[in-house]
Structure 1
Amino acid sequence: MTMPRSLPWVAAALTLVGVPAGLAVTGGNLQDVMTATIGVWLAMLMLVVRRWPLTVLIVSVLTVVAWRSSDLIGSGWAWPATAAFAALALAGRLRTAVVAGALTLWYGLAWDAFVEQYDSDRVLGQLGGEALWLAAVLAAASAYRSTRRWQDAVAARLEQSLHEQELQALRRRAEERVGIARDLHDVVSHTLAVVGVHLNVALDAFDEEPEEARDALRLAQDVRGRAMSDLKSLVDVLREGNRIETPAAGLEGLAGLTDQVRAAGIEVTVTELGERAEVPAPVATAVYRVVQEALTNTVRHARATRVTVTLDYTPASVTVEVTDDGAGEATGTQGHGIMGMRERVAALGGALTAGPGPAGGFTVRAMLPVAA
């Protein structure tokens, strides 16, 4: 998992406000200029934390230690660098962050106890509070990272499942085309050959044996009728079979999709209006694919906690809407996923829109006419 792109700016803003506020609350604001300076400096360091998280933590901790040891601030050994500790944990180096925090607090304990010679209650109270704060921050960062990694894994499985289903569908279509070509060859070649033979017999016997000519023409007509029935069956396969999908790629597969997303820690609500049984197979398949791709984008890009899937069945159309409460990023719209959804919906005569919702989050909405 990579750190979010917005993390440096959020961390810088929180540090810029939080460090002066924390020093004021804890009585560590000895000089306004020095308090403002350390706040600005630590905030500036956070702007490069995505690239050098460990370096930022080391420089931040050394800055706080230097300011505190020089009596430029009167409280805090580790907590002013809270954002740097959290960023390192988000980068997957939790153990390093814990070690750095322990060393920092150990140095603070030695300084307060032996250099400043504060009483033990003050030393243990301040450092104990910092230790608890740091532990809570690192635990929260680690939990968030684990959740995002799990969601990324679920998104990857969804994408792999979609890819495998597409490959299987392509294989089945190729097999169908080979079978149809073979059937067409058999039907057309055989029919033309038999009809040609009977027409030749009828032509030869037309003057001398008219009854035999009639029998030959009658047989040719019978063969032609059977061939027309066979060709009609093949045309039906071409019209309907070219959209054959894997069994899971239908409305009955939506429950499995939502279960996978719920397993990623996202609350999923599915609302169905109307009669599902009246939806034809091609439209049901398209609805399934729209929901699948939208949920994949939600898990991977949206940083959402809740997503709502609404299916509205009417005699004339099916409308599917997937809305999450995430950051409203349009990352998914730039790739092939939403483009593929739009093409699939358009092939059935429908329309698809995707973008940030009016109340935040991201919304994918598709309308597919049932008649198409």
Structure 2
Amino acid sequence: MTTPDPWSQWRRPGPTAAQRRQDVWLALAVLAGAAAVTVLVRSMGAFVHDETISTLVEQLLWGAGISLPLAVRRRYPLTVLLVVSAVFIAGQARHVADNLVPSIALFTAIYTAGAWSRDRVRARVARIGVVVGMFGWLGFSLVRELLEPVGPFENAVGPLDPVLASVLYGVAFNVLFFLSAYHFGNTAWLSARRKEELEHRAEELRRSQEQNMRGAVVAERVRIARDLHDVVAHHVSVMGVQAGAARRVLDRDLDLARSTLQTVEDTARTAIGELRGLLGVLRADPAEEPGPEEAAPADEVLGAQTSSPGLDQLPELAAMARSAGLEVVHGVYGEPRPVPEGVALSVYRIVQEALTNVVKHAGAAGADVRVRFLEQSLEVEVTDDGRGVTSGSGGFGLVGMRERVAVHGGALEAGPRRGGGYRVLARFPA
């Protein structure tokens, strides 16, 4: 079953104010042309008929009657067509001096009905009716002329009979005249429809691009929020634990307190370095990448790496968790192989978030971090022996983990362990 074309019922909008003014000027120009042609024809004595019974005033009135309706041709195309057609036939019946300007007005009216009429069925019927009526009038005029005495045609030298040639010429000329007006009117209407269809599709494309852009912005904001959460939550949690430990032993063991505060300082530097990397991504102009001479001073001050962390930095995470009082075992199983940078970063962030939750909420004594290089997948598992909880109220840790895994087509399992503690397992396809 074919889907109907939604543009098949299109209706052309009415003329604009500028187009209405153009129609008024066109009507005045046709009126001026009719008056000028009438004066010239009467001055030359070159009447269409052998003798005319119309006075100059009457002929000027006929010119006004057939030209002034064109002032509203695009607002009332069918009405103007019928009025101009009626005046055209009536003017010929009264032996108007010339047919040039009336023919121009009739052509314009037929064209406008095809180009601007909103009701396509009525436009087709009206134009066909006018054409049939005009040919009927042409046939009547030819018969009337044939019944009258015909001149000697002194200059006729062709192979056809002069009367037959005159009839064929009149018929061929009128066929070409009316078919042209009909065809060009339809072409103008189709052109207007195609133009509006293209504009409509261009607008839809623009809206789609804006929607995609908004979606990309939202996705980027979610990613940035996720990274900020991972960086801030983990490092600040470690700093809080270490600062509390330093406060408790400050009066009893200065060396231990000094070591603990050093860990707080190192953790702060790492957090600042990672935050600087995120902000650098936000501020970076793709066309202007900073050179080494620009980045070196900041690195020296911060003492941090600007590259994305990955699997090689997991031992550092384990060491930081140990400094917070958590016994962490880190193991790699299977044959290590290179993994995409995005997957490596996601693994790092998942382990970082899981260890942060263990330190903050689990009340655990130990945790186990395992990375498995399987044939069809890469797995990372973090388990602990704590209370079997993952975060405090309102936490976004698990949400961020699931989003990171979903980006790479993986799966996440998280929940309390049967024997106690909590387990987080992330699986990434190879």
**TM-score where L is the length of structure 2:** 0.50
Q: Which residue of 2 aligns with 1:89?
A: 114
Q: By how many angstroms is 1:90 displaced?
A: 0.6
* Residues 1:41 and 2:65 are matched in the alignment: yes
Distance 1:108 1:12 in 2: 25
Q: Counterparts of 1:4 and 1:165 in 2: how far apart (Å)? A: 31
- How far residue 169 of structure 1 moved from its aligned partner, in angstroms, is 0.8
Among 65, 76, 96, the alignment partner of 1:52 is 76
Shift of 1:78: 5.4
Distance 2:222 2:95 in 1: 84
Q: 2:273, 2:47 → 1: CA distance?
A: 93
RMSD value, Cα: 3.2
User: Which residue in the other structure is 1:192 paired with?
Assistant: 236
Task: Pick one of 57, 61, 78 that aligns with 2:85.
Answer: 61
- Of 102, 110, 122, the match for 2:131: 102
On the 8 A contact 2:115/2:189 being kept in 1, the answer is yes
Q: Does 2:32 align with 1:8?
A: no
1:224 is matched by which residue type in structure 2? Answer: A
Structure 2 vs 1, CA of residues 10 and 97 (structure 1 numbering), >3 Å: closer, same or farther? farther
Q: Distance in 1 between matches of 2:261 and 2:171?
A: 106
| Residue in structure 1 matched with residue 175 of structure 2 by the alignment | 131
Matched, 1:170 2:214: yes
Q: Could you tell me whether the CA contact under 8 Å between 2:81 and 2:110 is conserved in 1?
A: yes
Q: 1:191 touches 1:227 (CA, 8 Å); kept in 2?
A: yes
1:207 and 1:143 map into 2 onto residues whose CA distance is: 95
Cα distance between partner residues in 2 of 1:196 and 1:4: 73
Q: Is the 8 A contact 1:8 1:47 kept in 2?
A: yes
Which protein has the larger Cα radius of gyration, Structure 1 or Structure 2? Answer: 2
| Residues 240 and 37 (structure 1), Cα distance of their counterparts in 2 relative to 1, 3 Å cut | farther
TM-score when normalising by structure 1: 0.57
Provide closer, same or farther for how the CA distance between residues 36 and 101 of structure 1 changes in structure 2, counting only shifts above 3 A: same
Note the C-alpha offset of 1:21: 6.1
Using a 3 Å threshold, how does the CA distance of structure 1 residues 82 and 125 change in structure 2: closer, same or farther? same
CA separation of 1:89 and 1:11: change in aligned 2, threshold 3 A: farther
For each residue in 1:202-232, what CA deviation from the matched residue of structure 2 results, as whole angstroms up to 9, or x when unmatched?
Answer: 2222232222112211211221112112212
Q: Aligned-pair distance for 1:68?
A: 1.2
Task: Please list, as runs of the form range in 1=range in 2, the aligned pairs for 1:90-239 lying within 5 A after superposition.
Answer: 90-91=115-116, 93=120, 95-96=124-125, 98-117=127-146, 119-239=163-283
Contact 2:77 2:113 in 1 (8 A): yes
Q: Which amino acid aligns with 1:208?
A: R
- Identity among equivalent positions (%) equals 24
1:103 positional shift: 1.6
| Corresponding residue SS for 2:73 | coil
Number of corresponding residues: 245
> What 5-or-longer segments of structure 1 have no aligned partner?
245-277, 281-372
1:326-366 deviation digits (Å, cap 9, x = unpaired):
xxxxxxxxxxxxxxxxxxxxxxxxxxxxxxxxxxxxxxxxx
Change (3 A) 1:233 1:35: farther
- How far the C-alpha of 1:128 sits from its partner, in A, is 3.0
Kindly tell me: are residues 59 and 184 of structure 1, through their superposed partners in 2, closer, same or farther at Cα, counting changes over 3 Å? same
Q: Distance in 2 between matches of 1:3 and 1:20?
A: 31
Deviations 1:46-97 (A, max 9, x none): 2222232111111110111112112244547855412211110112546336
